[in-house]
Structure 1
């Protein structure tokens, strides 16, 4: 029965590892892991993360792949086989957002959000679970947004609601099979997310109140890994985010929609 995942001497695959939370997962796992496989689309950024780890005892491999495609996901599996890596931990961190109304969104970016946030995470997890050494671990990065129907971030929030629900169900399924599944739901965190979520016209989203919930990537990752070690199915890093997660989950949906409508009406 899965009671928690031990970090020491793990073999971890980290997606979206070229920056932000993915790079921070690599930094915090480097002192413990035997192998780190860093996955992202940009080879130069992956190499920069690798060079910055400053560890001699950990084997660090960079795998360039576009996880939003079937070929990219298959490429990751082939890479693991080619390098003789038998993973014990999968960290599904790769994701994409899009600021602005749904009706004005581009079809291409909307499709990519769904392909990356939902399809890639689901199918990569499905392919990796039979490969995971036991004890095994899966960390899925969701968001505080998963508890909200968020105007101007509708597809992203909905995709993260899927990630949270999927992760909690999987945690129950895998509990007797030696695999710990933990869903991490951070609030506002200073990463490259906002930069990539902005549209070409510079459009942004309403950030009122975010400063009260903002915590650094280092704390998000630290609390996420602690939750994995303790066998927790879901964690909202940071005191404010944890309280907000409880409030948002318990708030009547009619009241929530009213509050969100009022927020949208602000100039």
Structure 2
């Protein structure tokens, strides 16, 4: 197994850090970190997270940027240079979903999902790797949805399938160069994701069975950081999610499509 990434004195960039898993990553890394750069669109929310971490020994910096745009990506790299931060850890947590059929989706929101979940994650990683000090680390937040084609969440699930595949490839490429890459694939987690994924008309997703897979953000982040320290390329946190991921990946596709068609009929 590849060597893992040591958290002590890390200099981390955390995207989507204003709430949910991003804020939890900041909280769990703060006791170990030298510098934390919190990235998100909402300045006030970022400052709130910073205040919560004020007792930690880490230097906390807030970078307001919309990562779904090229300008937002440049804002992050320019911010790091201006503040003299050479990161050795990148937490790609920012992401979004959209509940409802693909046909009825708003083109702008569909494009934003792709730009944030795929393009921003890929290009920010590409921009920071050359300057990343070694040993280095990358954590990409994917989803249990990456193992499934998901009606009413089609673009999100497909984008997370990209994240998982991309992460596992990078883990192989970068291990010899002293950079550990880990991908965390949680199931349903109590964050603001569902609030932003709902449409303005109230369209939601079928939540049948989600209670069996739901785990708190602290457990998701703890599992992700443990995987990073151990050099594990991919982790499905929680017993239920771990079992479900194996079932979904081993189930014959014909049976899986039948199950998903039945589920979609209940929407």
Same-fold call, TM cutoff 0.5: yes
Segment drifting more, 231-240 vs 54-63: 54-63
Q: What stretches of structure 1 of length at least 5 have no aligned partner?
A: none
Q: TM-score, normalised by structure 2?
A: 0.99
Partner-residue secondary structure (3-state), 1:176: helix
Deviation of the 1:265 alpha carbon? 1.7
| CA distance in structure 2 between the aligned counterparts of 1:146 and 1:229, rounded to whole angstroms | 23
Question: What corresponds to 2:130 in structure 1?
Answer: 130
Aligned partner of residue 199 in structure 1, secondary structure: coil
Matches of 1:42 and 1:151, distance apart in 2:
30
Residue aligning to 1:97: 97
Report the 3-state secondary structure (helix = DSSP H, G, I; strand = E; otherwise coil) of the residue aligned with 1:3: coil
1:150-186 Cα deviation digits (max 9, x unpaired): 0000000000000000000000000100000000000
Structure 1 segment 112-123 matched on structure 2, within 5 A: 112-123=112-123
Give the CA deviation at 1:55.
2.4
Per-residue CA distance 1:21-75 (angstroms, 9 max, x = gap): 0000000000000000000000000000000113241100000000001110011
Residue 166 (1) aligns with residue 140 (2): no
Tell me the residue number matched to 2:16. 16
User: 2:85: which partner in 1?
Assistant: 85
Shift, 1:266, TM fit: 2.5
CA distance in 1, matches of 2:131, 2:189: 32
Distance 2:26 2:46 in 1: 11
User: Does 2:109 correspond to 1:109?
Assistant: yes
Query: What SS does the aligned partner of 1:175 have?
Result: helix
Q: Which moved more, 1:242-251 or 1:224-233?
A: 242-251
Deviation at 1:131, TM superposition (A): 1.1
Does 2:39 match 1:39? yes
Structure 2: tracts of 5 or more residues without a match: none
CA distance in 1, matches of 2:249, 2:125: 26
Distance in 2 (CA, whole Å) between partners of 1:38 and 1:56 is 14
CA contact (8 A) 2:31 2:56 kept: no
Deviations 1:110-143 (A, max 9, x none): 0000000000000000011111110000000000
2:2–2:232 CA contact under 8 A, matched in 1? no
RMSD in angstroms over aligned alpha carbons? Answer: 0.9
Matched, 1:229 2:229: yes
- When normalised by structure 1's length, the TM-score is 0.99
* 3-state SS of 1:180 partner: strand
CA distance in 2, matches of 1:56, 1:187: 30
8 A contact 1:31–1:55 mirrored in 2:
no
Q: 1:218-266 CA distances to partner (integer Å, 9 max, x unpaired)?
A: 0000010000000000000101001111111111111111100011123
> How do 1:1-267 residues align onto structure 2 when only pairs under 5 Å count?
2-266=2-266
| Number of residue pairs the alignment of both structures matches | 267
CA deviations over 1:94-120 (Å, ceiling 9, x no partner): 001000000000000000000000000
